[in-house]
Amino acid sequence: MTIEFESDRFKNNQQTFDFSRDHWPMAQITETRVLTAHVPLQLAEKVDLWAAKLERSKGWIVKQALTAWIDQEQERSRLTHEALADVDAGQVIDHQAVQAWADSLGTDAALPVPVPRQ
């Protein structure tokens, strides 16, 4: 893999940043692939606005959003599998018990939190 820059050094005010390959942590050098997606015009305009506001590229904004969505879906899947394992193990709470508990919240006679049946 070859990475080329116009210059290996970038000076910003009093700081000099060295972008030569010897100074890159290996974790930051990753292969990438271009994905193409058609998005509604309003969404694309929001990406443009956030990119300008954060002084980041549109690609960076999309990568952050996609990463967050994938993380969210992985967590949702993990929690679903965990819940299904609880059901398989019989660790469930009767709906009526939960409803009665919820209805009692904020009253003078609040019920204790229901516990799973064994």
Helix (H) or strand (E) holding 37: none
Please give the tally of structural domains in the chain: 1
Identify the band that residue 117 occupies on the pLDDT scale cut at 50, 70 and 90.
Answer: confident
Q: Which residue(s) pair with 11 in the sheet?
A: 16
What are the structure tokens assigned to 30, written together?
């990753």
pTM exceeds 0.85 for this model: no
Q: Which residues pair with 12 in a beta bridge?
A: 15
Residue 30: give the domain boundaries.
9-104
Q: For 5-51, write each residue's pLDDT tens digit.
A: 444 444 445 555 555 555 555 556 688 999 999 999 999 999 999 99
Other Cβ atoms within 10 Å of 61 Cβ, number? 19
Provide the pLDDT for residue 17.
53
- 65-90: pLDDT as tens digits: 999 999 999 999 999 999 999 999 99
CA quadruple 23, 28, 31, 37: dihedral, nearest 10: -130
In a domain, 1, yes or no: no
Q: Within a domain: residue 3?
A: no
pLDDT at residue 30, rounded to an integer = 81
Contact 114, 97 (CB under 8 A): yes
